[in-house]
């Protein structure tokens, strides 16, 4: 460490020792290092050496913290819900008097159990120390502190105050009521030894900054001190500057209508200036009135979704905006049709404002005429109206502790004709009391069958795999292929062929493995081969120059043995192939 950093660490250690927050420790299994980082304030605008306006953060002090990275990795996480910032602001908005209190030293007001204090050990040039109170940098400190504050003020929350970490906000609609609420909070602080930072407390004011936004009896506004600087921001010239600007402006996106649509083409200076203008002239948002219905206005453009949540105090009264919401579309929704984009905007709005709309009456507005809710009177919708009004008498039955061993339902299914083959292919089991001749025959036939749970398939001579149909399905298949309105009254042979084709074309197994009839139009598929001479490959070569009246060669190859036979032919028609098969294969 240099002398400046060393002096900062020395002052911090001396201050904490004097306050009894740390103490020297000789040995510990957990030792972390001290780190010092500059403490910066909000972004501001200053001129550089070239007399140009640039954004920067001013540093005037240093912050000392402990790097508990290794300890945090080994710590079991303690989850506790934090209040939603929007809900805190809406609860505070619209009140006439406020008191803003701030805890002194924040986390360090919570004691650490003596048996766990050694885990907070840190080392520095001035020695090795451990904390007696919760320090910054430990993963469970924020949730533990919020749980403690919520427990202390549990009966006062939602009634006269809101708590977010060490910020305590007391409110009321009159001076006397606010004073009474403040008395309750201060009494609770005294009873629990909770110390406040008097320099950061503000009493009986009509407005104040809460979590970065201005709250008053008018509603919720942006913090002028933080956004006035945006007007003077230079145009971003790098990716980092663009991200910085969007991050700064995005914190107040709920105040800006169509934020995503405006910020999407940020490379254009006009859009950036428009976003500046919208932010510096942001409207005042109203807190919701839970007794009134919500109005949700949704719209979608070619690249972004937008929504406005508001309420109307009375008939012919202007709508009070509660919040804006917008986002750019992902690549997939960009290809949606107009009606799908408009519907996506409604879905986005309902999801975004779910906490407001759940259990409340809402009216959704859309400029797309197709998205309408059509209501039919009961007399015009007689079927559904009748079903909805049928009264069913309740006839509860007593619950019995014992369940009798009764046969509730018995179904007898005849054994399929291929049951023996199925058992042998799936589990290599012969039927009981089967003769030796039947077993040999069954074993020989089984090589043409394939078991794919829950169906049995057969490889036929045309190299197409067909599903074996049980007896109970035969009539329904014939009915479908022959007598249904979609069927044609073929003869028996044609009906059987049509049935096989229909099953092969529509079954998922056949579609997946490419086992349809028209195989030449699909990707090549492996051919299942079992024995020599089961599968042949036959093709013609030529035409060649005529020699002794022959111009073609019929080439025949067996898939298993690779035996090749070549014959000179005069033509390349089917008759030549049939004659060859009859004389050489089925001879």
By the 10 Å C-beta count (0-12 exposed, 13-18 middle, 19+ buried), 26 is classed as exposed
CA distance from start to end of the chain: 99
Strands (E) located in 185-315? 202-205, 207-210, 213-216, 219-222, 294-300, 304-312
Tokens of 402: 């014992």
Residue with tokens 């005529």: 546
Predicted local distance difference test score (pLDDT) of residue 182: 94
Walk across the sheet containing 22-24 and list its strands.
22-24, 127-131, 122-124, 32-47, 53-67
- Sorted by where each starts, the structural domains of the chain and their CATH numbers stand as 3-217 (3.30.70.270), 288-373 (3.10.20.370), 419-521 (no CATH), 536-584 (no CATH)
pLDDT at 267: 37
pLDDT of residue 364: 87
Phi, psi of 455 (to 5 degrees): -115, 155
CA distance 580 to 578: 5
CA-based nearest residue to 426, from 456, 451, 461, 455:
451
The token pair at 49 is 């050496």
pLDDT at 175: 93
Q: Specify the pLDDT at position 112.
A: 92
Q: What is the pTM of this model?
A: 0.45
Question: Which pLDDT does position 490 carry in this prediction?
Answer: 55
CA 353 to chain centre: 17
Whether the link from the prior residue into 303 is cis, omega within 30° of 0, is: no
DSSP letter string, 530-550: -STTSSEEEEEE-----BTTB
Instruction: Give the Cα separation of 127 and 25 in Å (integer).
Output: 9
Per-residue pLDDT of the chain (587 residues; tens, 9 = 90+): 677 788 889 999 999 999 899 999 988 888 998 988 877 554 555 555 566 655 555 545 788 889 998 899 988 888 888 888 888 888 898 899 999 999 888 888 899 999 999 999 999 889 999 999 999 889 999 999 999 999 999 899 888 999 998 899 999 999 999 999 999 999 999 999 999 988 889 999 999 988 878 898 888 887 776 666 666 666 666 556 666 676 666 666 666 777 666 666 553 433 455 555 555 555 666 778 888 888 888 888 888 888 888 888 777 777 788 888 888 888 888 888 888 888 898 899 998 888 788 778 888 888 776 666 545 555 555 544 554 554 445 555 666 555 555 554 555 566 777 888 888 887 788 888 888 888 888 888 888 888 877 778 888 876 677 788 887 777 777 666 655 554 555 555 665 665 555 555 554 445 544 444 444 444 555 666 557 777 888 899 888 888 888 999 999 888 778 888 888 998 988 888 888 888 877 76
Q: Are 108 and 137 in contact, with CB atoms under 8 Å apart?
A: no
């Amino acid at each position: 460490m240099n002398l400046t950093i060393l002096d900062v660490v020395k002052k911090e250690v001396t201050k904490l020792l004097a306050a009894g927050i740390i103490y020297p420790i000789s040995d510990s299994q957990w030792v972390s290092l001290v780190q010092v980082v500059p403490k910066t304030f909000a972004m501001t605008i200053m001129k550089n050496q070239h007399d140009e306006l640039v954004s920067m953060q001013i540093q005037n002090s240093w912050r000392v913290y402990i790097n508990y990275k290794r300890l945090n990795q080994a710590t079991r996480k303690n989850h506790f819900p934090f209040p939603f910032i929007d809900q805190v602001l809406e609860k505070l908005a619209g009140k006439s008097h406020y008191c803003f209190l701030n805890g002194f030293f924040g986390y360090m007001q919570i004691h650490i159990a003596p048996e766990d204090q050694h885990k907070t050990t840190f080392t520095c040039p001035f020695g090795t120390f451990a904390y007696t109170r919760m320090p910054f940098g430990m993963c469970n400190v924020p949730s533990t502190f919020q749980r403690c504050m919520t427990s202390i003020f549990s009966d006062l929350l939602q009634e006269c105050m809101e708590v977010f970490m060490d910020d305590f906000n007391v409110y009321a609609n009159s001076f006397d009521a606010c004073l009474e609420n403040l008395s309750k909070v201060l009494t609770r602080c005294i009873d629990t030894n909770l110390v406040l930072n008097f320099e950061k407390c503000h009493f009986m004011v009509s407005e104040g900054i809460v979590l970065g936004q201005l709250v008053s009896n008018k509603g919720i506004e942006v913090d002028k001190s933080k956004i006035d600087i945006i007007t003077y921001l230079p145009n971003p010239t790098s990716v980092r500057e663009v991200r910085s600007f969007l991050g700064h402006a995005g914190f107040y996106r709920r105040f800006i209508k169509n934020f995503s649509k405006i910020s999407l083409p940020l490379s254009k200076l006009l859009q950036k200036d428009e976003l500046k203008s919208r932010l510096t002239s942001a409207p005042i948002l109203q807190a919701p009135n839970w007794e009134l219905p919500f109005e949700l206005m949704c719209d979608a453009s070619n690249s972004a979704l937008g929504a406005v949540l508001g309420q109307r105090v009375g008939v012919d009264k202007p709508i009070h905006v509660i919040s804006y919401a917008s986002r750019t579309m992902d690549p997939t929704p960009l290809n949606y049709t107009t009606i799908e984009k408009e519907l996506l905007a409604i879905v986005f709005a309902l999801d975004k404002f779910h906490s407001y709309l759940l259990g409340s009456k809402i009216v959704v507005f859309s400029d797309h005429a197709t998205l309408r809710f059509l209501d039919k009177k009961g007399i015009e919708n007689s079927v559904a109206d009748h079903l909805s009004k049928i009264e069913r008498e309740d006839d509860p039955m007593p619950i019995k502790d014992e369940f009798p061993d009764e046969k509730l339902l018995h179904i007898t299914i005849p054994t399929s004709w291929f049951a023996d083959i199925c058992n042998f292919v799936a589990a290599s089991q012969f039927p009981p009391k089967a003769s030796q001749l039947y077993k040999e025959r069954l074993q020989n036939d089984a090589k043409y069958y394939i078991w794919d749970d829950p169906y049995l398939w057969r490889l036929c001579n045309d190299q197409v795999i067909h599903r074996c149909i049980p007896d109970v399905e035969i009539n329904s298949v014939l009915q479908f292929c022959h007598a249904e309105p979609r069927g044609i009254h073929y003869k028996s042979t044609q009906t059987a062929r049509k049935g096989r084709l229909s099953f092969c074309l529509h079954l998922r197994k056949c579609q997946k493995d490419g086992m349809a009839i028209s195989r030449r139009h699909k990707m090549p598929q492996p051919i299942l081969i079992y024995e020599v001479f089961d599968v042949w490959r036959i093709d013609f070569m030529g035409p060649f120059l005529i020699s002794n009246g022959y111009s073609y060669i019929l080439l025949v190859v067996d898939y298993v043995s690779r035996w090749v036979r070549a014959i000179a032919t005069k033509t390349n028609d089917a008759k030549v192939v049939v004659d060859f098969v009859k004389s050489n294969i089925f001879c």
